[in-house]
Amino acid sequence: MATEINFNGSIPQHYEDYLIDFLFDSFANDLVKRVATNNTIKVLELAAGTGCVTKHLVNYLPSSATITATDLQPGMLEVAKKNLSGSNIDWATVDMTDIPYDDDAFDSIICQFGLMLVPNKMKALQEIHRVLKPGGQLVFNVWGNIDYNAVWKIGGEVVESFLGNNPILQDPGPFSLNERTTLQLLEDAGFSNIKSTVVDETGSIETAAMAAKGFIEGLPVVLAISKSNPSQIPIIQQALEVALSQQLSNHPLRSSLQALVFDVSK
């Protein structure tokens, strides 16, 4: 049973409230600092979610730069727009396998933890290549080995113990890309000067209960559970809280986190 990659209903707000600071913000800061600012006038952000990377872009880029912040999920962008505004930000619902912009339109393209969730990853990279200017920069990240991402590993195992499968390990899914596969996809899509870097961080959240709520209700994991038996949602969430508390402590809970960052040019 595959989990739907849909961030709708209450998921976007739970994602923002429980997961951004815990799992994503430190990687967003790292990613944005890799964007070259020389001659960076037009920036396209893909899979912008609730605006974590967008916020850092606004603070990092010169005021003359324009940011087109996009996501496939309108509900995620609605949360982002509540939190962030600016005359240089253009929000749009965009499928990265069918980007509605002209060839060679952007100086830089940035994407945090989005490519892994796309069914046709090659098509997405071909579209990114098309709309990126010659000599332009693409910077993106994907999750590293799940063994170095403790909260993801524990969460998937707990859910699997109830459902019989681990939705975190599906393709498309958060851990569906490794370094070798991604490098090959980039080469095949026509990119050059490809650099990959491993980035390790430590995520921290106040309690195991908050981490469990974010993992279950702030991700499409909740949809997989709902398909099986909606009444299990609080039961699985409680089991995950216990497992996280036992394995990662509590008050606060800390988790190892690892991402792979790719910095390439056209």
In a domain, 4, yes or no: no
pLDDT, tens digit, 9 for 90 and up, residues 225-266: 999 999 999 999 999 999 999 999 999 999 999 999 999 999
In a domain, 153, yes or no: yes
pLDDT at position 17 is: 98
Mean pLDDT (whole number) for 111-127: 98
Quote the Cα angle for 128-261-214, to 5°.
Answer: 95
In a domain, 191, yes or no: yes
pLDDT, tens digit, 9 for 90 and up, residues 218-235: 999 999 999 999 999 999
d(CA 144, CA 198): 8
Which residue range forms the structural domain that includes residue 193?
A: 11-265
pLDDT, tens digit, 9 for 90 and up, residues 7-24: 999 999 999 999 999 999
Please list the residues that pair with 257 across neighbouring strands. 201
CATH number, domain of 150, equals: 3.40.50.150
In a domain, 3, yes or no: no
In a domain, 254, yes or no: yes
For residue 98, give both structure tokens.
């069918």
pLDDT over 90 percentage in the chain: 94
pLDDT band of 75, cuts 50, 70, 90: very high
In a domain, 76, yes or no: yes
The total domain count for the chain is 1
How confident is the prediction for the chain on average, in pLDDT?
A: 96
In a domain, 6, yes or no: no
In a domain, 2, yes or no: no
